[in-house]
Amino acid sequence: MAVESAAVMDPAGLKAIGAGLAVGLTGIASGIAEKDIGSAAVGAMAENEALFGKGLILTVIPETIVIFGLVVALLIS
Amino acid sequence: MHLLQRLKKGLHPQKSRSKGHSNYAYTTARVRAMKSKLLPRETYPRLMNMEINQITRFIQEVEYKEDVDELAMTYSGVDLIEHALNRNLAVTFTKILSISEGELNYLISEYLKKYDIWNIKTILRGKYCGASTDEILEAVVSAGRLRYTFLSELAAKPTYEDVIEALSTSEYYSILKEYNGENLSGIENLLDKKYYDDLFQAIGDPKSKDKKLFNKFIRTDIDLKNLVTLFRLKKYGIKDPSMSDLLIEGGLKLKIKEIERMLPLSFEDFLTEIENTPYWEEISDCCSPKMDSLIYVETRLKKLRLKSAESFSHVYPLSIVPIMDYILSKENEVSNLRIIIRGKAVGLSDEEIKNQLVI
């Protein structure tokens, strides 16, 4: 009996775990990707303030990864 | 990533040279932004048409403002520019050291040790020929680990023995203590060799591609230095095999044995021999057995150096090589400006100055 109840899980729970993983992992991935770009952008900006706009745009480009994760999470749940 | 690095370090603790996390992205991006502020090559012809005061004003409007402003109280004319250029070089390289971290910082500081050696050499040479403290300080560039205050104290010492005594705690003492007031060139060669030995030791056995590239960069540097030494020796007809002391080991394409084989040759034979090396292509049009001066060849080799550093820097953007490229370009800018002002001060013709410039 105990084995049977463990095998059958509530699909809503699995969906929630999947959605959590989708957002969480993509969040970490964007963080890693943005780390170097962000520090490079700050470095370039320290020398030339006019690079602020370009630096900001380049820094947030990996943000798309987490947005895809969020979209997937929303689709799952 | 860090966990992996730590695990690797744990497995090979004695091989690890990393001293903390390196901030390659920040430093290279900042240094590239600094490189964009270097004087463009069109500036030099314009500077050639200016008087010394106009040049001072011009460099005051660009990156050298602070240096000129600060030193304008003490110096004037050519000396002012000379001191401002040296100060700017020191400030710029110290800045690169202060913004870099970890292994990157370690490698850059090892590379910049050449300025420590340069300064020690300058002070010893100054003492050798009895130059005044001010004259010595004119050539001191405190871009390495030795600070300007310490170097000016050294320059103010009355004799070379006092200078060496003051350096007794430095790593160069083992070489410097052999100096007896006569063998300056031998000591200088030993210092240079120690510099490259230390640098190769710092790089270690290069495993990653960017380290390999840095290694290649340093070895190309050695090749070109040896080539210039060889050209000078051959041009003045020196065939003494003991001159191999002047050569530095570890070149990339010119092995020390090959170079030693060229030492007893005459200038004509040397040129035929050098045709087989990969550097010939760059210098072939300005080399002939009857050439009067080596300026063209040396300028061409310096240009090749800059060009190769630039192309290296594009191979691995997040490595130490773009920083080395900047250091070389900055040194070249300062040396070009110095050529122009010194040339103008002693009344050289525009053509002569132009031949010396590396643009």
Whether A48 and chain B come into contact, CB under 8 Å, resolves to yes
- B245 Rama class: left (phi>0) / alpha (psi -120 to 50) / beta: alpha
Reference B123, options B157, B146, B85; nearest CA is B157
Its pTM surpasses 0.90: no
Report yes or no on A48 lying in a domain.
Answer: yes
CB B167 within 8 A of CB B154: yes
Q: Does the CB of A41 have a partner CB in chain B at under 8 Å?
A: yes
Go through the domains of chain B in sequence order and give each one's CATH number.
Answer: 206-319 (1.20.1690)
Query: What mean pLDDT is predicted for residues B224-238?
Result: 82
**In this structure, is residue A72 part of a structural domain?**
yes
Q: Please check whether residue A51 lies inside any domain of the structure.
A: yes
The answer on pLDDT for B326 being more than 90 is yes
**Among candidates B347, B359, B102, B323, which has minimal Cα distance to B210?**
B323
Nearest chain B residue to A51 by CA distance is B33
Q: What is the pLDDT of residue A39?
A: 92
Using the Cβ of B37 and the Cβ atoms of chain A, whether some distance falls under 8 Å is answered with yes
The amino acid present at B215, given as its one-letter code, is N
The DSSP secondary structure of A8-58, one letter per residue, reads ---HHHHHHHHHHHHHHHHHHHHHHHHHHHHHHHHHHHHH-GGGHHHHHHH
Q: Is A72 on the interface with B (CB under 8 A)?
A: no
* Residue-wise pLDDT tens digits, B11-41: 444 444 555 688 889 999 999 999 998 888 8
Asked if B34 is an interface residue toward chain A (Cβ–Cβ < 8 A), one would say: yes
**Is there a domain that residue A36 lies in?**
yes
Closest partner residue to B26 (CB to CB) among A40, A48, A51 is A40
- Domain that residue A30 falls in: 16-76
For residue A46, the chain B residues in CB contact (below 8 A) are 30, 33
Question: Residue B142 in 3-state DSSP?
Answer: coil
Q: Considering its fold, how many domains does chain A have in total?
A: 1
- Residue of chain B nearest A36, judged by CA positions: B25
Listed range (A70-74, B179-183, B341-345) with the worst mean pLDDT: B179-183
| Domain presence at residue A11 | no
Q: What pLDDT was estimated at residue A20?
A: 95
Assigned domain for A5 exists: no
pLDDT over 60 (residue B5): no
B37 and A47 within 8 Å at the Cβ level: the answer is yes
Closest partner residue to A36 (CB to CB) among B25, B33, B99 is B25
Each residue's pLDDT tens digit, A2-58: 455 556 778 888 999 999 999 999 999 999 999 999 999 999 999 989 999 999 999
Q: Please answer whether residues A76 and A11 qualify as being in contact, where contact means their C-beta atoms are separated by less than 8 angstroms.
A: no
pLDDT value of residue A7: 67
Residue A10 covered by a domain: no
Q: How far is CA A42 from CA A66, B9, B26, in A?
A: 22, 30, 7
Beta-carbon-side half-sphere exposure of residue B227 (alpha carbons within 13 Å) = 30
